[in-house]
């Protein structure tokens, strides 16, 4: 993998990806994600397909200083590898950073990594740390620190650690721990990963929100209590359910200022206004906040009308109305099918999300995922549901559909429940406050969970439906599915992976795993003069990019 000084090595896989993109078999976003994951810069990747380098969306000159206030559900702070919601990460992003960062254009760029390189079959990866980075206690940031975090992430014995499943190629299947030969320290600024098999999602997974790096002294408690990190901000106030405040760390200059610019804001105040979008809009109208984290679809035009500036993204973010298959009566596949047959996803999109998105097909793989296989779906059949109820005892049973008490998720479940009732089911709707729901989301027998976008379909399936996964809320387990998913993760060619994905999608539909009704359009509004906060497709907050006119 050594290359001549002053010359950039183009991974042969990136050349193949460029060919597929130019031939129309892959869109630009997917090409940028995959090519940058192999170690190319966004500019070099764009050049391979004849595009100009990606530009910053807002080219105005940033101004230093000021305070920004944003509504956000403020969550208790805990071990990052246990984070299950983007809100947990977004506050801690002030001081805890990532090896790589996913950009809104689909590219990956190095943060604590300066660059990375893979061998031709993507089983050996050289990770080069960014020079000049130190923790905010002045300790140098080293390859040993990265190995410490990789070891923590690989620990399959920690309940709720979703990072373990993402790093299977570095783990010992027998012990559930990181293999000792998986991570080689080359020197203080470079380490080499030895994967047991090719994994197209390896680097992309390091950008997901539970992959925040902690200091080697971290013992697993509240990271805000002793905020050792490499980022530009520090927590000043941490009152979950009320407010969380970040202030610029003036005592320790941020490494990123010389690389990416910023940070610009002096202070970021997250204000928890609850889940009612009307309350949040009232606060915006009264000038009590400067930005919405997510704008509810019914309120998009209202924010537009008061002169706030809108950004939006069509993403693979979604909602999963799922059954816990290990809990009666949802262990009966006939019942699951009857419920799914009663529901028209197009109706759910219209009633639950104002029609703002794309209809989905109950298999959690999105058309914007490169390996998406079209045409794997089953049309609704409410008459089949009625016939099933007439011949079973389920007609006498009451089904409790649980959702978070907010705008779009509650309305989505209301739409599902209404169609179930039309087919003859007796349905109770239970809405639960966010703080309670987000602690118990895996355990409800019949409920709905918001799922963020992941750039690759194999990432989503690995997190949500692989046997024993920390985020497998359905309890779904199928040996054929697991084997095919493992194979798909090794296939760099999107066309080859699509063939395997078609069968994975079929299995989820055939086994009636969930109602996954639509893919979401995401919206954010900011008051005029606020910059750098365009809606991120994975709901990430990149604080160092934010600034405002003063």
Please report, for residues 241, 276, 410, the alpha-carbon distance to residue 434 in angstroms, rounded to integers and kept in the order given. Answer: 10, 11, 11
Measured distance CA(84)–CA(160) in Å, rounded? 8
In this predicted structure, the answer to whether residue 152 has a pLDDT above a threshold of 60 is yes
C-alpha span between 315 and 336 (Å, rounded): 27
Tell me if 106 sits within 8 A of 32, measured CB to CB. yes
As given in the structure block, the two tokens for residue 522 are 């995401």
pLDDT of residue 337: 98
Residue 175 phi/psi, 5-degree rounding, is -95, -20
pTM for the model: 0.90
Q: What is the CB neighbour count within 10 angstroms for residue 44?
A: 15
pLDDT of residue 435: 85
The domain segmentation of the chain, as residue ranges, is: 8-55, 314-521
**Fold of the 314-521 domain:** Dipeptide-binding Protein; domain 3 (3.10.105)
Task: Give the model confidence (pLDDT) of 456-507 as tens digits.
Answer: 999 999 999 999 999 999 999 999 999 999 999 999 888 899 999 999 999 9
Look at residue 376 in the predicted model and tell me its pLDDT.
97
- Mean pLDDT computed over 420-446: 94
**pLDDT 10s digits, 250-275:** 999 999 999 999 999 999 999 999 99
* CB neighbour class for 190 (10 Å; exposed up to 12, middle 13-18, buried from 19): middle
Contact by Cβ (8 Å): 68, 264: no
- The stretch 439-451 carries a mean pLDDT of 95
Q: Confidence band (pLDDT; 50, 70, 90) for 105?
A: confident
Write the CA distances from 73 to 70, 91, 239, 294, 423, integer angstroms: 10, 10, 11, 11, 36
Q: Is the pLDDT of residue 29 over 90?
A: no
Confidence of residue 33 (pLDDT cuts 50, 70, 90): confident
Q: What is the pLDDT of residues 175-192, one digit of tens each?
A: 999 999 999 999 999 999
Q: What is the pLDDT of residue 41?
A: 64
CB 312 within 8 A of CB 523: yes
pLDDT confidence of residue 23: 56
What is the model's pLDDT at position 55? 41
**What's the mean pLDDT when you consider all of the chain?**
92
Helix axes 382-390, 408-422, angle to 10 degrees: 60
**Digit-coded pLDDT (tens) for 199-218:** 999 999 999 999 999 999 99
Half-sphere exposure of 298 (CA within 13 A, CB side): 15
- C-beta separation of 226 from 96 below 8 A: no
Number of H helices, E strands in the chain: 17, 19
- The residues pairing with 238 across neighbouring beta strands, listed in sequence order, are 244
Whole-number pLDDT of residue 3: 34
For the cut 50, the answer to whether the pLDDT of residue 7 exceeds it is: no
Residue 371: pLDDT over 80: yes
Residue 5 pLDDT > 50, yes or no? no
The least confident of 121-130, 159-168, 488-497 is 488-497
In Å, how far are 7, 174, 226, 228 from 92, measured between CA atoms? 37, 33, 12, 11
Give the Cα separation of 515 and 119 in Å (integer).
40
Q: What percent of the chain has pLDDT over 90?
A: 84
Give the separation between CA 169 and CA 417, rounded to whole angstroms.
41
Alpha-carbon span 199 to 176, nearest angstrom: 18
Asked if residue 550 has pLDDT above 90, the reply is no
Q: Quick one: tokens of 36? A: 């940058």
Strands 267-271 vs 309-323: parallel, antiparallel or unpaired = unpaired
Q: For residue 356, is it left (φ>0), alpha (ψ between -120 and 50) or beta?
A: beta
Higher pLDDT, 24 or 389: 389
């Amino acid at each position: 993998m050594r290359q001549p000084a002053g010359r950039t090595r183009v991974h042969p896989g990136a050349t193949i990806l460029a060919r597929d993109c130019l031939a129309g078999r892959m869109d630009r976003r997917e090409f940028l994600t995959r090519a940058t994951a192999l170690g190319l810069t966004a500019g070099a990747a764009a050049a391979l397909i004849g595009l100009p380098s990606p530009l910053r969306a807002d080219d105005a000159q940033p101004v230093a200083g000021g305070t920004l206030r944003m509504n956000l559900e403020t969550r208790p702070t805990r071990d990052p590898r246990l984070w299950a919601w983007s809100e947990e990460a977004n506050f801690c992003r002030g001081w805890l950073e990532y090896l790589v960062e996913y950009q809104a254009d689909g590219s990956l760029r190095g943060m604590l990594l300066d660059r990375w390189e893979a061998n031709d079959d993507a089983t050996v990866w050289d990770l080069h740390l960014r020079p000049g980075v130190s923790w905010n206690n002045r300790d140098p940031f080293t390859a040993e620190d990265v190995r410490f975090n990789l070891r923590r992430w690989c620990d399959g014995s920690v309940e709720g650690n979703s990072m373990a499943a993402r790093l299977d190629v570095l783990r010992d299947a027998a012990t559930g721990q990181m293999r000792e030969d998986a991570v080689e320290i080359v020197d203080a600024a470079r380490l080499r990963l030895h994967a047991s098999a090719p994994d197209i999602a390896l680097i992309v997974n390091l950008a997901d929100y539970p992959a925040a790096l902690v200091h080697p002294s971290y013992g697993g408690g509240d990271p805000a209590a002793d905020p050792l990190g490499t980022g530009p901000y520090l927590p000043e106030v941490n009152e979950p359910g009320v407010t969380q405040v970040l202030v610029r760390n003036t005592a320790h200059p941020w490494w990123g200022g010389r690389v990416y610019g910023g940070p610009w804001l002096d202070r970021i105040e997250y204000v928890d206004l609850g889940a009612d979008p009307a309350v949040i809009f009232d606060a915006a109208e009264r000038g009590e906040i400067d930005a919405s984290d997510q704008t509810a679809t019914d309120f998009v035009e209202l924010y537009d009308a008061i002169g706030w500036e809108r950004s939006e993204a069509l993403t693979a973010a979604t909602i999963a109305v799922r059954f816990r298959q290990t809990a009666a009566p949802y262990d009966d596949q006939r019942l699951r099918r009857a419920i799914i047959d009663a529901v028209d996803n197009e109706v759910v999109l219209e009633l639950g999300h104002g029609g703002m998105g794309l209809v989905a097909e109950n298999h959690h793989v999105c058309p914007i995922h490169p390996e998406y296989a079209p045409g794997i779906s089953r049309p609704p059949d409410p008459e089949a549901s009625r016939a099933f109820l007439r011949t079973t005892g389920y007609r006498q049973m009451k089904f409790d559909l649980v959702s978070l008490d907010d705008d779009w998720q509650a309305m989505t479940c209301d739409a599902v429940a209404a169609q179930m009732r039309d087919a003859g089911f007796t349905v109770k709707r239970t809405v639960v406050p966010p703080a309670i729901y987000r602690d118990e989301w895996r355990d409800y027998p019949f409920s709905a969970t918001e799922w963020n976008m992941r750039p690759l379909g194999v990432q989503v399936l690995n997190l949500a439906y692989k046997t024993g996964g920390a985020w497998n809320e359905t309890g779904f387990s199928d040996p054929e599915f697991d084997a095919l998913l493992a194979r798909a993760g090794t296939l760099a060619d999107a066309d080859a992976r699509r063939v395997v994905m078609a069968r994975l999608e079929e299995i989820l539909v055939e086994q009636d795993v969930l109602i996954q009704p639509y893919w979401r359009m995401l919206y954010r509004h900011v008051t005029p003069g606020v910059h750098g906060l365009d809606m991120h497709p994975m709901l990430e907050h990149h604080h160092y990019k934010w600034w405002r006119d003063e």
